[in-house]
Amino acid sequence: MKKFINYLKKNPIIALSLIFIIICFLCAIFAPIVAPYNYDETDFSSPLSPPSLKNIFGTDQLSRDIFSRMIFALRISLFVGIVPTTINLFIGAIIGTISGLSNKRIDNILMRFTDLGLSFPFMILAMAIIYNLGSSMKSMILALVVFGWTSTARIIRAQTKFIKNNSYIDAAKIMEVSKFRMIFKHILPNMKSTLFVLYTMSIPQTILAEAGLSFLGFGAQPPLTSLGVMVANGRTFLFEAPWLSIAPGIFIMLISLSFNFLGDGLRDFYGLGGADI
């Protein structure tokens, strides 16, 4: 821990990114306390008002405070960023390790299935799933998970093939350790740095995917809102009240950059090469 703190002191951008991410999570958790207004509070007295001391990011067409809605929207955006990424990491890690430990036939079957998932255009597949199942949080998470694990599986497979040549894996095989135990006791614990870096670098991709789907109308539905939904709702007033889309758009950019900077920093801290990640 002390080594990581010293690393952060030498890399202020990574430290600021970590602080910003922590602040975002705290704001999302304590949104009713942090937000000056409720996310759906309306008074119709000042629709489309520009940024001011009372409303630092202005108001929308229903006089709702943009800043307050962004704080509450963080809950959905971070939830959609964290949950599918966690599921994808788990599925990708299991399939990747099984593929790396298995014989050539099973390895080829799993990797061809992975290649099939990588070949699908993500946005088209996601929109097709959400369109057929209906716009909801469950549909969006399913769309982000269906083939979202594929790139992780390929990276973990490569790491597994490298690790399984170590002597302690040979010893575990001699002791007839089950494949399940070998995966969770010997393989995955020895690539935790890779998994952690993959996790932090996959979260912004999922957040941006959610924002893109929401912008196209396939995201969270009222009364729920997300940063992507706010950007989409503001495009109608883009020339009349640009702050409706600009403020949440900049927020999406800052969150994505922070996670990317943190992921790059962790990769350098653990000494992982770009080819591995």
For residue 18, the model assigns a pLDDT of 94
Phi (first) and psi of residue 59, to 5 degrees:
-130, 165
CA 44 to chain centre: 35
Distance CA 42, CA 49 (A): 13
And the tokens for 268? 């350098």
Per-residue pLDDT tens digits of the chain, which is 277 residues long: 788 888 888 999 999 999 999 999 999 999 999 999 888 887 778 888 999 888 899 999 888 899 999 999 999 889 989 999 999 999 999 999 999 988 889 999 999 999 998 888 888 888 888 888 887 788 889 999 998 999 999 999 999 988 888 887 878 778 877 778 888 888 888 888 889 889 998 999 898 888 888 888 887 777 778 888 898 888 888 888 999 999 999 999 999 999 999 988 888 888 765 434 4
126/242 Cα distance (integer angstroms): 28
What are 50's two structure tokens?
A: 């520009």
At 17 the pLDDT is 94
How far apart (Å, rounded) are the C-alpha atoms in residues 96 and 68? 42
The predicted structure's pLDDT at residue 277: 42
Instruction: Look at the chain and count its residues.
Output: 277
> Angle, to 10 degrees, between the axis of helix 192-215 and the axis of helix 122-133?
60
Q: Residue 276 and residue 163: Cα distance in Å, rounded?
A: 13
User: With contact defined as beta carbons under 8 Å apart, do 187 and 162 qualify?
Assistant: no
Longest dimension (CA), the chain: 76
Single out the residue of 264, 198, 199, 256 nearest to residue 228, CA to CA.
256
CATH number of the domain at 14-25+65-273, out of 1.10.1740.10, 1.10.3720.10, 3.20.20.450, 1.10.10.10? Answer: 1.10.3720.10
- What is the reported pLDDT for 99? 92
3-class DSSP state of 49: coil
- CA 154/CA 37 separation, integer angstroms: 46
CB 27 within 8 A of CB 74: yes
Short-list 161, 126, 131, CA closest to 145: 126
